[in-house]
Structure 1
């Protein structure tokens, strides 16, 4: 499982283990699974798609701008705002 955190300047919005997250990167959407290579990316306004299990219907959360970091611990999305 992939450890996923969604953070805004005001609060920690989510911290959970999931199967995959699709992030709206400024260069295009990208999916992050467990053991993904380290990565740092800016993100554009758009929707995160969170898959709790393989093949499940994704939950979407609307975010505005920020950064995404994939490291040895998992994925952290630092969003300027969460609007949905």
Structure 2
């Protein structure tokens, strides 16, 4: 089994997502960035935009407004000022 990245997405109100995934793509204040398992540690501020969580063929998306992302040996934590899950609608 391939290694996974543990990610938590939280706001001041609640935890929106926690789990082991393949990749996270997030809107950093200096541009969009991606994180895989065993990524080098770093911390950055977040811009308003979409956080995309990829695991196999599953994709979850969250609209975030501000906050921080912290990547360390334990995984990735996204502390968003506000966030809500984006749900695609099919017409």
Structures share fold, TM-score greater than 0.5: yes
Quote the RMSD (CA, aligned, Å): 1.1
Contact 1:4/1:17, CA 8 A, preserved across alignment: yes
1:42 counterpart residue number: 45
1:8 corresponds, among 11, 18, 25, to 11
1:27 counterpart residue number: 30
Specify every segment of 5 or more residues in structure 2 that has no aligned partner in the other structure, as ranges.
Answer: 86-91
Query: Take 1:11 and 1:74, find their aligned partners in 2: how far apart are those partners?
Result: 19
Query: Take 2:71 and 2:80, find their aligned partners in 1: how far apart are those partners?
Result: 14
Query: Take 2:73 and 2:53, find their aligned partners in 1: how far apart are those partners?
Result: 19
1:77 counterpart residue number: 78
Specify every segment of 5 or more residues in structure 1 that has no aligned partner in the other structure, as ranges.
Answer: none
Q: How many residues align?
A: 82
Query: Take 1:58 and 1:31, find their aligned partners in 2: how far apart are those partners?
Result: 14
Greater relative contact order: 1 or 2 (C-alpha under 8 angstroms, separation 6 or more)? 1
Instruction: Encode CA deviations 1:22-72: one digit per residue, 9 max, x unaligned.
Output: 01000000000000000100001100011112xx36321111100000011
After TM superposition, where is structure 1 displaced by more than 2 Å over at least 4 residues in a row?
A: 56-59
